[in-house]
Amino acid sequence: MFIFVGFSPNNQIVPVGVEVNSSGYIITDEKCETSIPGIFAIGDLRQKYANQIVIAAADGCTAALAAAHYVEMKKSRAICCFETTEVVSAGTA
């Protein structure tokens, strides 16, 4: 049995620029990434076919893996961009 209690996405804290549909649900790709790179949406706030807890849990796993990959890609690009032989130190002497 599935009890329907209604849907009203609470998208008040969604950053400006994240694409939402006419009902207020966030539009994502298959990795749960929004229209702003590095911002992910999961659960009942995301536009999808069904809103059930098992799907929300799967969204969480997908988004966590995608976010980890996103961070690793950003870190590797930063390393490539800042590879120099300069030595910098900070602190007190």
Tell me the pLDDT of the chain (93 aa) as tens digits.
Answer: 455 555 678 888 899 999 999 989 999 999 999 999 999 999 888 888 887 888 889 999 999 999 999 999 988 876 665 555 554 445 454
Question: Is there a domain that residue 71 lies in?
Answer: yes
pTM over 0.85: no
- Residue 4 is predicted with a pLDDT of 52
Token pair belonging to 23 = 């009902």
Number of domains in the chain: 1
Question: Is there a domain that residue 30 lies in?
Answer: yes
- Residue 8 is predicted with a pLDDT of 78
Tell me the β-bridge partners of 33: 40
CATH number at residue 45: 3.50.50.60
Q: How far apart are CA 39 and CA 32, in angstroms?
A: 9
- Residue 89 is predicted with a pLDDT of 42
Question: Is there a domain that residue 6 lies in?
Answer: no
Q: How far apart are CA 20 and CA 14, in angstroms?
A: 9
- Residue 44 is predicted with a pLDDT of 85
